[in-house]
């Protein structure tokens, strides 16, 4: 027996005890809490769906919200709704995050000034809040003003009624994108200020004058659905006229970039030439059009006569052309006249009555003009306003030109805000009576005549908030005003004809009926107008300042949604910040490099922004996106991996650079009105980019074919038979020249590197009825990022914050890669390639996992078992598509309540040290298989929709069983345009792409 | 061997023995005395009276009457308080001593509009998506995993150890993955990781 001394004995004993103790660790006690009264339609574990309306922008799309046990988890489009048709945009997907905002107003508050003079918010009860409100309204009597946003429907009418009843019918519906110019233009040209339907879906040649129709203009989702419809199979041609190729411009086929402000002359020159080619045009306009010809405007606009004539020829030859009136970014002090010029182009090209239809108009008639807001603020300064009620509008942020803060102070205005979360205007308020968020509210609206959409709550109010309509009704009653009895919900039901018809409408999502088109004719006096380019203040040698709306943040109202800052901007692919975009030539003049901090100054203010030189903006222009630079999201956020950045201000407020010049005719704010003096401070700032270059560098990720080549290939190979259709292609295992086997020429490396033929359906177990695969139509993909948003909300993908993004730790499972092949007057060829895990049959990642955490399943999926992963990251090292993401921190584990209520319980929440990637929404696949098993059958094609497929407004993604000959995805894989990315690496990807179609004359 | 090296070997051997001993014959999962007789619930609900065999004088309510979602959905929930109140708004007295107080507790919760916070006995970790529906439909009796609940006065995790070939015959306790896999392998059910881990 070897001798052990006391010390050694104690060591052994201690270690033994320690080892034994670790094994005795216990799980905490878990509770299981049932319903008190379980509603009939709810089965715990099975989702219940409710129809409602999205309120993230005034578009009014119908949504269907998936709830689990009374909590909304996922927002998708309502398939029955005529505006959204089952799809949703990147903003709408985050509608429920408003409700789960941790820094929301939790109840009524009043503003107090403490001893040191600091302004603070103090919590109060609803009783006290109502008392304060009623007192203020009584004192204010007829000097109360209600400042809201775009609103239609029952609540809108009710607010008018209440204001009239209390003797103060003063109301302004302020929207930064108020379409004032278009309404005035329609009045000038057609004698009615209605905003007509622009039937993009029925048009074959579309020309947009700086119109961001895929981003924020009117109903962007409906526009995208229509736009893609009009471009199926290589049809359609779109021309974008503007200083900067935004998302909408990136999807066009030709880009004209006239001198900023002179776009109005382009519109008239085109109208003149089109009229000439169509036999002269209306008599009344001939004199006017004769003054503006392509030859006479060429110099002022900087666009050559030949180009203008070419575009006009195309429009004249089209059977259903359509010109879209200017968006805000090109709106100068001649805004109304510019829009009128575009409407004149529509008149002479024959669009009116065909693709430009009055009747089913957009209900924007009651929106205030910017001039009216300025007038109101003037009244405040003069002491004519006693009480200001603010709801759904944030002019302190989006209209700094009017000086709201000073006016409220000097005019001694008692301000009440109904905002549900802190915003810049609520910062000025004396009393905050927070409204329920849209997902907690009843409501309705009529965004377009004939489409009446309903909104219902999908969760009980989380905090102590009340519907604004009810607050106003109670206040009016306390003042003794005569308002209808009952709650807002009672009035809403009554407005819809009683309970029975209301419930029926809820089941659909609303009520829609066709509205007959009304005919319009040219108004007199059009011909006597003169059209001048918009004047630009400042030094002519300085770049022109272009401020443009944000696709993700709209006018800034979405800036509290964290994920929208982290999804890369669709054009610049930047995240978490503001960047001044300019052309490399312009940058060279001032010796500016990417990341230099610039000082940009106009008469309205100055800002410091990092520079972002890139090619899809014209020289001589500097562009800034609106939406950022507001309040920090949560100044009290904990210093944890998931939240520390919420204390900071993100980016800059571009609105503050816009001088307050108005278009006298429409009262619109002139967004394009000045040059900006730009100086390089030589400071450096990080530019957070998801993509470092838009050049494919010859690797053939995003391929394209021309319309001519496509027609040839389709004729040769018959309908839809490409690669694996005919016998000639069945040479499995043989290395072969890809050119011979692909009907359309491949590009990049794939064109000259040999590849082996394979059958993708073989990459699954022989007995399995399924081999899951996907097909993505790049020509349909607009790069809108809706798929990224859907994937994030479905799969609990965390937001990692700017610091992690800077070192490349983004977590998105699907990304849109943008490749710019051409962007000029001859052609715009911008390709959007959604890239996700390809579920390769010969996956380089599967064979290198030491823990067997990733493997190829029997159904062909590349499975990631996250709980087995030990974090070597070898798999990501091997992935040629860089589809894998590593959790460097436990992002989602520590999100505070109620934000963690948004997590999907069907998907694992990943902790630190674990790899994750696209799973083809395996939770949905398994769910569908479970239901099919109940009925003792296989899953049918179309029963499974991955999150990205379900939401894609372009229907670009198809998913299904590659072993099913009749499946949509199999047909798409056999299409003439089909190809795989990096196929020559022989990874045998399950994801197939359809080539972009270049609409150029050459074959 | 030098004494330092001896210590090291001794320590390692002792640690291994400690772990194995602690793991014991019941697997790495060590049952607490509480688990072996069932945690004390807010209301002393007696499954034997409600679900026990009619021949023994019990009510014989089928499992799925209260735990219906087990058949229809992915989670088998405990019934809502309204399900209990369905009978107990009339049945104010039971046959066991103390039952009057327990039934009164249900009324208390219902009147206060509070739900009953039951202590959970059968649970798999968050990274497992267990689907009751598939198992019920495949003909797996509730008792196979939950034990003879209809004979239990208080629900507890009935210990059961399995030794699977795939895990080199190391013991696996009830509701550990090896325990589930033994049954899956025997019956030819799926052994695909992604069936449960996603």
Of B69, B123, B137, nearest to A43 by CB-CB distance is B69
Tokens coding A472: 């106003």
- Please indicate whether, in this complex, the C-beta atoms of B115 and A33 are within 8 angstroms of each other: yes
* Closest by CA position to A556, among listed A649, A439, A659, A669: A649
In chain A, what residues touch B6 (CB-CB under 8 Å)? 2, 4, 8
Give the per-residue pLDDT at A752. Answer: 81
Give the per-residue pLDDT at A725. Answer: 40
Of B80, B123, B131, nearest to A36 by CB-CB distance is B80
* Closest by CA position to A231, among listed A855, A912, A955, A984: A955
In chain A, what residues touch B32 (CB-CB under 8 Å)? 26
- In angstroms and rounded to an integer, the radius of gyration of the C-alpha atoms of chain A is 30
A922 touches chain B (CB under 8 A): yes
Partner A, chain B 107-126, Cβ-Cβ below 8 Å: 109-110, 113-120, 123, 125-126
SS3 A383: coil
Of B11, B22, B123, nearest to A12 by CB-CB distance is B11
Tokens coding A681: 């401070």
In chain A, what residues touch B196 (CB-CB under 8 Å)? none
Task: Report the C-alpha gap between A801 and A893 in whole angstroms.
Answer: 15
Choose from A4, A14, A18, A33 for mutation: most chain B CBs within 10 A. Answer: A33
A858 touches chain B (CB under 8 A): yes
Partner B, chain A 389-408, Cβ-Cβ below 8 Å: none
Tokens coding A685: 């700032």
CA distance B30 to chain A (A): 7
Task: Report the C-alpha gap between A888 and A815 in whole angstroms.
Answer: 19
Task: Report the C-alpha gap between B113 and A445 in whole angstroms.
Answer: 36
Q: Considering the entire predicted model, what is its pTM?
A: 0.92
In chain B, what residues touch A867 (CB-CB under 8 Å)? 125, 127, 197
- Please indicate whether, in this complex, the C-beta atoms of B78 and A34 are within 8 angstroms of each other: yes
DSSP states of A285-297:
HHHHHHH--HHHH
SS (H, E, C) A772-841: EEEEEECCCCCCCCHHHHHHHHHCCCCCCCHHHHHCCCCCCCCEEEEEEEEECCCCEEEEEEEECCCCCC
Number of helices and strands in chain B (H, E)? 10, 3
Average pLDDT by stretches of 10, chain A with 1003 residues: 79 76 68 89 90 95 94 96 96 96 94 90 96 94 92 94 94 94 95 95 96 96 96 93 96 96 96 94 90 94 96 96 96 95 96 95 92 95 94 95 93 94 95 96 95 96 96 96 95 96 95 94 87 93 97 95 96 96 95 96 96 96 96 89 88 96 95 96 95 92 93 76 42 52 84 83 94 97 97 95 93 97 94 97 95 95 94 96 95 85 93 95 95 93 96 97 95 92 93 95 65
- Please indicate whether, in this complex, the C-beta atoms of A32 and B113 are within 8 angstroms of each other: no
- Please indicate whether, in this complex, the C-beta atoms of A43 and B127 are within 8 angstroms of each other: no
- Please indicate whether, in this complex, the C-beta atoms of A8 and B3 are within 8 angstroms of each other: yes
Of A5, A855, A907, nearest to B198 by CB-CB distance is A907
**Helix or strand holding residue A202 (H, E):** none
Reported ipTM: the value is: 0.85
CA distance A8 to chain B (A): 6
- Please indicate whether, in this complex, the C-beta atoms of B15 and A934 are within 8 angstroms of each other: no
The answer to whether A459 and A439 have CB atoms below 8 angstroms apart is: yes
Q: How many residues does chain A have?
A: 1003
A692: CB partners within 8 A, 6+ apart: none
User: Alpha-carbon torsion A654, A660, A666, A672, what sign?
Assistant: negative
User: What is the DSSP pairing of strand A205-209 with strand A237-241?
Assistant: parallel
- Number of A–B residue contacts, CB under 8 Å: 154
Of A12, A34, A35, nearest to B10 by CB-CB distance is A12
- Please indicate whether, in this complex, the C-beta atoms of B137 and A934 are within 8 angstroms of each other: yes
A125 touches chain B (CB under 8 A): no
Of A36, A44, A907, nearest to B113 by CB-CB distance is A36
- Please indicate whether, in this complex, the C-beta atoms of A16 and B15 are within 8 angstroms of each other: yes
A8 touches chain B (CB under 8 A): yes
Of B69, B127, B129, nearest to A866 by CB-CB distance is B127
Task: Report the C-alpha gap between A562 and A789 in whole angstroms.
Answer: 11
A851 touches chain B (CB under 8 A): no
Taking the CA atoms of residue B73, residue B78, residue B80 and residue B84 in that order, the dihedral angle to the nearest 10 degrees is 130
In chain B, what residues touch A926 (CB-CB under 8 Å)? 129, 131, 194-195, 198
SS (H, E, C) A412-479: CCEEEECCCCCCCCHHHCCEECCCCCHHHCCEEEEEECCEEEEECCCCCCCCCCCCHHHHHHHHHHHC
């Amino acid at each position: 027996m070897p001798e052990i001394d006391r010390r050694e004995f104690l060591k052994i004993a201690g270690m033994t005890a320690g080892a034994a103790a670790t094994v005795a660790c216990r799980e905490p006690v878990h509770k299981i809490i049932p319903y008190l009264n379980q509603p009939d339609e709810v089965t715990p574990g099975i989702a219940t769906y409710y129809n409602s309306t999205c309120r993230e922008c005034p578009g009014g799309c119908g949504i269907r919200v998936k709830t689990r046990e009374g909590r909304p988890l996922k927002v998708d489009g309502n398939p029955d709704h005529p505006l959204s048709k089952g799809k949703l945009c990147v903003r709408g997907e985050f509608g429920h995050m408003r409700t789960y905002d941790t820094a929301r107003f939790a109840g009524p508050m009043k503003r107090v000034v403490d001893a040191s003079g600091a302004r603070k918010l103090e919590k109060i009860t609803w009783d006290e809040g109502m008392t304060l409100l009623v007192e203020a309204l009584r004192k204010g009597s007829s000097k109360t003003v209600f400042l809201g946003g775009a609103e239609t429907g029952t609540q809108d009418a009710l607010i008018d009624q209440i204001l009239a009843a209390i003797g103060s019918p003063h109301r302004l519906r302020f929207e930064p994108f108020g379409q004032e110019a278009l309404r005035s233009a329609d009045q000038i040209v057609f004698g009615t200020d209605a905003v007509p339907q622009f039937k993009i879906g029925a048009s074959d040649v579309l020309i947009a004058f700086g119109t961001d129709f895929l981003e924020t203009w009117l109903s962007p989702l409906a526009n995208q659905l229509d736009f893609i419809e009009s471009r199926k199979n290589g049809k359609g041609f779109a021309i974008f006229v503007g200083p900067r190729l935004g998302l909408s411009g990136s999807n066009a086929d030709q880009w004209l970039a006239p001198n900023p402000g002179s776009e109005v002359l382009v519109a008239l020159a085109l109208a003149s030439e089109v009229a000439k080619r169509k036999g002269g045009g209306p008599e009344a306009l001939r004199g006017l059009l004769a003054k503006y010809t392509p030859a006479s405007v060429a110099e002022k606009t900087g666009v050559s006569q030949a180009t203008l004539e070419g575009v006009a020829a195309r429009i004249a030859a089209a059977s259903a052309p359509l010109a879209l009136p200017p968006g805000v970014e090109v709106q100068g002090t001649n805004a109304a006249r510019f829009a009128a010029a575009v409407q004149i182009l529509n008149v002479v090209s024959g669009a009116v009555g065909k693709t430009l239809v009055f009747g089913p108009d957009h209900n924007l008639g009651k929106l205030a003009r910017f001039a009216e807001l300025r007038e109101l603020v003037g009244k405040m300064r003069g002491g004519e306003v006693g009480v200001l009620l603010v709801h759904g509008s944030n002019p302190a942020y989006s209209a700094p030109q009017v000086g709201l803060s000073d006016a409220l102070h000097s005019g001694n205005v008692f301000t009440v805000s109904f905002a549900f979360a802190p915003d810049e205007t609520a910062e000025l308020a004396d009393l905050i009576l927070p409204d329920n968020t849209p997902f907690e509210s009843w409501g309705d609206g009529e965004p377009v005549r004939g489409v009446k959409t309903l909104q219902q709550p999908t969760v009980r109010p989380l905090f102590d908030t009340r519907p604004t309509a009810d607050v106003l009704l109670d206040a009016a009653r306390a003042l003794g005003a005569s308002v209808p009895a009952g709650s807002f919900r009672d009035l809403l039901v009554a407005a819809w004809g009683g309970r029975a018809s209301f419930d029926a409408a809820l089941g659909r999502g609303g009520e829609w009926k066709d509205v007959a088109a009304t005919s319009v004719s040219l108004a007199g006096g059009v011909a006597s107008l003169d059209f001048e380019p918009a004047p630009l203040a400042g030094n002519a040698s300085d770049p022109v300042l272009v401020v443009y709306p944000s696709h993700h943040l709209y006018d800034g109202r979405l800036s509290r949604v964290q994920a929208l800052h982290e999804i890369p901007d669709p054009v610049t692919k930047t995240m978490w910040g503001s960047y001044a975009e300019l052309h490399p030539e312009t940058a060279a003049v001032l010796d500016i490099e990417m990341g230099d901090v610039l000082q940009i100054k106009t008469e309205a203010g100055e800002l410091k922004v990092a520079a972002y030189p890139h090619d899809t903006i014209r020289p001589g222009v500097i562009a800034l996106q609106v939406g950022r630079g507001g309040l920090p999201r949560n100044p009290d956020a904990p210093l944890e991996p998931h939240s520390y950045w919420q204390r900071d201000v993100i980016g800059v407020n571009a609105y503050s650079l816009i001088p307050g010049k108005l278009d006298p005719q429409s009262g619109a704010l002139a967004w394009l009105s000045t040059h900006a003096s730009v100086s390089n401070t030589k400071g450096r700032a990080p530019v957070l980019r998801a993509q470092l270059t838009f050049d494919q560098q010859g690797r053939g990720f995003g391929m394209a074919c021309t319309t001519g080549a496509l027609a040839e290939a389709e004729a040769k190979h018959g309908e839809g038979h490409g690669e694996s259709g005919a016998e000639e292609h069945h040479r499995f295992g043989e290395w072969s020249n890809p050119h011979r086997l692909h009907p359309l020429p491949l590009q990049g490396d794939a064109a000259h590197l040999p590849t082996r033929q394979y059958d993708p359906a073989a990459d699954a177990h022989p007995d399995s009825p399924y081999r899951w695969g996907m097909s993505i139509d790049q020509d349909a993909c607009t790069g809108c990022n809706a798929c990224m948003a859907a994937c994030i909300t479905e799969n609990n993908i965390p937001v990692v914050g700017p610091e992690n993004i800077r070192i490349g730790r983004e977590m998105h499972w699907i990304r849109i890669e943008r490749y710019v092949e051409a962007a000029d007057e001859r052609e715009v060829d911008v390709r959007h390639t959604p890239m996700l895990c390809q579920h390769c049959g010969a996956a380089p990642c599967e064979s290198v996992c030491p823990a067997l955490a990733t493997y190829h399943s029997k159904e062909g999926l590349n499975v990631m078992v996250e709980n087995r992963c030990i974090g070597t990251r070898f798999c990501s090292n091997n992935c040629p598509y860089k589809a894998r993401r590593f959790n460097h921190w436990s992002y989602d584990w520590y999100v505070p309540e109620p934000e963690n209520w948004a997590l999907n319980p069907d998907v694992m929440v990943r902790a630190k040290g674990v790899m994750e990637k696209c799973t083809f929404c395996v939770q949905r696949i398994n769910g569908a298989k479970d239901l099919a098993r109940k009925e003792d059958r296989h899953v049918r094609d179309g029963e499974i929709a991955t999150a990205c497929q379900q939401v894609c407004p372009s229907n670009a993604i198809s998913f299904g069983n590659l072993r099913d000959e009749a499946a949509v995805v199999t047909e798409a894989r056999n299409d003439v345009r089909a190809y795989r990315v990096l196929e020559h690496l022989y990874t045998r990807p399950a994801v197939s792409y359809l080539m972009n179609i270049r609409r150029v004359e050459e074959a | 061997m030098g004494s330092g090296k001896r210590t090291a070997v001794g320590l390692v051997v002792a640690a291994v023995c400690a772990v194995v001993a602690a793991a014991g014959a019941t697997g790495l999962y060590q049952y607490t005395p509480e688990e072996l007789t069932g945690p004390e619930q807010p209301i002393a609900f007696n499954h034997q009276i409600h679900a026990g065999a009619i021949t023994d004088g019990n009510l014989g309510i089928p499992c799925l009457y209260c735990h219906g979602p087990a058949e229809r959905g992915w989670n088998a929930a405990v019934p809502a308080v309204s399900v209990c109140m369905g009978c107990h708004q009339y049945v104010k007295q039971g046959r066991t001593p103390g039952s009057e107080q327990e039934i009164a507790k249900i009324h208390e919760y219902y009147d206060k509009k509070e739900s009953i916070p039951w202590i959970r006995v059968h649970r798999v970790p968050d990274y497992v998506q267990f689907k009751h529906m598939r198992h019920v439909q495949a003909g797996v009796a509730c008792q196979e995993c939950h034990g003879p609940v209809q004979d239990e006065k208080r629900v507890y995790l009935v210990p059961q150890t399995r030794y699977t070939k795939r895990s080199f015959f190391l013991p696996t306790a009830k509701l550990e993955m090896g325990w589930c896999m033994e049954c899956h392998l025997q019956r030819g059910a799926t052994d695909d990781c992604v069936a449960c881990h996603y």
